[in-house]
Amino acid sequence: MSGPSGTPVSYLHLLADVLGGLSLDTRVEGQRLIVTNPHASRLGESITVAVDAGGVWHYRWSWGDPIAPVGNLHTVATRIKYVLTGTLR
């Protein structure tokens, strides 16, 4: 396993904390992290965590594609913020 040791839900909570610091609204619902743009609530995404064939845990978009490994919180948060706001800051 790559990245910090934890469970899918603990990884979602870690990401929720980072995204909250980037002014996005977050809530963990079961095995998903719901992220929305507070200025355009229609812009949202459902993030999950899953292990790949090589045993590496990744955050995944709602359609199943990987965003990045769980150990790369900054990369994941930056990509999600860009998709939901069109900005990197």
Higher pLDDT, 76 or 88: 76
- Which one-letter DSSP state was computed for residue 81? H
Q: How many whole angstroms from its chain centre is CA 17?
A: 10
Q: Evaluate whether 44 touches 36 at the Cβ level (below 8 Å).
A: yes
pLDDT tens digit sequence for 23-56: 999 999 999 999 999 998 788 999 999 998 999 9
Q: Evaluate whether 58 touches 67 at the Cβ level (below 8 Å).
A: yes
H helix or E strand, kind and range, residue 61: none
Domain coordinates of the chain in residue numbers?
Answer: 8-85
User: Which residues fall within 8 angstroms of residue 62, CB to CB, at 6 or more apart?
Assistant: 45, 46, 47, 48
pLDDT at 65: 94
27 SS3 class:
strand
